[in-house]
Amino acid sequence: MITTLIVLFVAGYTFIVLEHYVKVDKTAIALLTGVTCWTVFMLSGADTSWVTDQLLKHLSDTAGILFFIMGAMTIVELIDAHDGFRTITDAITTRSDKKILWITAGITFFMSALLDNLTTTIVMVTLLSKVTTNKKNFKLLASMVIIAANAGGAWTPIGDITTTMLWIGGQISSFVTIRELLLPSLVCTLIPLIVLTFFIAPTGTVLESKPSTVSKLSSTERTIVFFLGLGALLFVPLFKAITHLPPYMGMLFGLGIMWIIIGIMHTGKDEEEQSDYSVASALRRIDLSTILFFLGILLCIAALQSSGILHAAAQYLERTLHNQHSIVLVIGLLSSIVDNVPLTAAVMGMYNLSSYPMNHELWQFLAYAVGTGGSCLIIGSAAGVTAMGMAKIDFMWYLKRIMPLALLGYLAGAGCFILLRSL
């Protein structure tokens, strides 16, 4: 059974990688692989009720992620429908994509630390589509957003789900994590950023405002929706800290508030105009294919986790590598292939707090590695998968052009962390 699951996962992963060549949509492959893995697991002779319980447990976690993505995408679509991003695009006066690269990377790095890397990616890729018309530049800029979002999310307890796991589990604390991971995460971002600057075409231009029904809105309405949406996104980590409910609950709460206020705002307008700015219209525009791709990938990883394959892989690394830095570095790279959440959970289960107390080097380095290592492959992080769908980035294109830079940044940041700890 274990061998069959591994073969299925590798085969599905290969078809996703070669989507451009096999001409089969990656979402279909991900869904098929996910369901097939669980079917094999169920028919392997394991207790059916236990397998069902495992599936329901993972489906609950997966549904939370999917509802979070849907809520964030809908809020961003509402801002876009009201031309709210003009508040930012009007402030970007440069016509140089090189400068836009640095501006967006900086905003992404720090916004990801306050929000999370997934929400930040959705916002920034949408914003980039408004400020550049060069398709090649757009892909490079979106790829930089992935790296900056993952690195930015690694140095605060609320910026990435894995750092949040370690924070809630008592392995790391807020202040020490920020102090020890800010500089390595910054180095991880700067190395690819500097190199990519030389590959950006110098003839980037800022998009002109699109003639549409948006012109019927006043600047006050645009501004209200922009800050209302931004406030809803920023409210999510605060909601989680106060209520201890999952992040998707805060996202859905913010969406509900926006739904009511936008409905009131357009009361009295004709039915067709109201429809253009409604939440129902925004829901029709979100990329459901990306969401279903997420579902398929997460089902695959859940099957590997429940079958014990991921935990066995972590224990194998412990037996063969021995050196903690090497183990964590490899786990970080593995997070670009499989989800970093089960990998982090496996490591948390391997090492206890009595031997490795809060803020031990192991935990801090693990937070950095699993947070930033996923950038090495575009399907290695939630930010990457989202950008893959939104910016139409091909896996092989990213592998050839961005992976070496992301790997270089990852290793440079790791070296920075080890150097700082030794000093």
As for how many domains the chain has, the answer is 1
In percent, how much of the chain has pLDDT > 90?
Answer: 26
pLDDT at 212: 43
Q: Which residue has the higher pLDDT, 190 or 274?
A: 190
Band the pLDDT of 206: cuts 50, 70, 90: very low
* 124 occurs within a structural domain: yes
Band the pLDDT of 349: cuts 50, 70, 90: low
In percent, how much of the chain has pLDDT > 70?
Answer: 95
CB atoms within 10 A of CB 392: 12
Q: Which residue has the higher pLDDT, 364 or 353?
A: 364
pLDDT at 196: 93
**Greatest mean pLDDT range, 115-119, 148-152, 169-173, 229-233:** 148-152
Q: What is the pTM of this model?
A: 0.75
pLDDT at 23: 80
* 25 occurs within a structural domain: no
Band the pLDDT of 209: cuts 50, 70, 90: very low
* 122 occurs within a structural domain: yes
pLDDT at 203: 58
Long-range contacts of 194-199 (CB under 8 A, 24+ apart): 195/405, 195/408, 196/101, 196/140, 196/143, 196/144, 196/405, 197/98, 197/101, 197/102, 199/140, 199/401
pLDDT at 156: 86
* 244 occurs within a structural domain: yes
**What mean pLDDT is predicted for residues 12-36?**
85
- The per-residue pLDDT for range 388-402, each reduced to its tens digit, is 888 888 888 999 999
pLDDT at 62: 81
**What mean pLDDT is predicted for residues 126-136?**
84
Assess whether pLDDT exceeds 70 at residue 208.
Answer: no
User: Could you tell me the residue range of the domain that residue 174 belongs to?
Assistant: 64-288
* 255 occurs within a structural domain: yes
- The per-residue pLDDT for range 141-175, each reduced to its tens digit, is 999 999 999 999 899 877 787 887 788 677 888 88
CB-CB contact of 259 with 279 (8 Å): yes
Residues in the chain: 423
* 227 occurs within a structural domain: yes
**Greatest mean pLDDT range, 31-40, 54-63, 130-139, 330-339:** 31-40
pLDDT at 342: 64
* 155 occurs within a structural domain: yes
* 306 occurs within a structural domain: no
Assess whether pLDDT exceeds 90 at residue 237.
Answer: no
Assess whether pLDDT exceeds 70 at residue 207.
Answer: no
Assess whether pLDDT exceeds 80 at residue 354.
Answer: yes
